[in-house]
């Protein structure tokens, strides 16, 4: 079972959006028995809070199922538990490296590093634009799933 952890600053906007977009893609590809997906935060600011209403609204609009996700903080132990730890932006990667105290197994990357156009995911907490964030996350998740399927 391949285990993927998506990570952003607060685990209420981008990383849960990536978690549920990826779960939907994995389920539709018939790979739910092979790929497990979760999400976490690098900060403790939003611990226990639900998914941001903008993320919920975008997932509903796109027909992507989600559950009663509550924000949690990434731990050093997550590095041992997950095969891939995928941040949304460069600052997330720095904070993830601080939490894990390094990446000797090269498990950490940005989601859009798996696309032909590596870049950071825009943070809708600041931009207010969940449409762009969704499109970027979908692009990253589709590219990652394609890469994973090709390596089987």
Question: Residues with catalytic annotation?
Answer: 8, 14, 123
**CA separation for the pair 140, 37 (Å, rounded):** 14
Task: Output b/e per residue, 99-134; b: 16+ Cβ within 10 A.
Answer: bbeeeeeebbbbbbbbbeeeebbbbbbeeeebeebb
Taking CA 71 as the corner, what is the angle to CA 51 and CA 67, rounded to the nearest 5 degrees? Answer: 50
């Amino acid at each position: 079972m391949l285990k993927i952890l998506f990570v952003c600053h607060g685990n209420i906007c981008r990383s849960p959006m990536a978690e549920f977009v990826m779960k939907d893609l994995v389920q539709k590809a018939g790979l739910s028995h092979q790929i497990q997906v979760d999400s976490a935060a690098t900060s403790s600011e939003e611990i226990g809070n639900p998914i941001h209403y903008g993320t919920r609204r975008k997932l509903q609009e796109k027909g992507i199922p989600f559950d009663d996700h509550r924000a949690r903080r990434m731990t050093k132990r997550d590095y041992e538990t997950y095969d891939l730890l995928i941040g949304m932006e460069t600052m997330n990667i720095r904070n993830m490296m601080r939490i894990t105290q390094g990446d000797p197994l090269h498990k950490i990357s940005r989601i859009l590093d798996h696309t032909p156009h590596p870049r950071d995911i825009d943070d809708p907490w600041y931009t207010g634009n969940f449409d762009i964030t969704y499109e970027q996350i979908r692009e990253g998740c589709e590219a990652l799933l394609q890469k994973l399927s090709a390596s089987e």
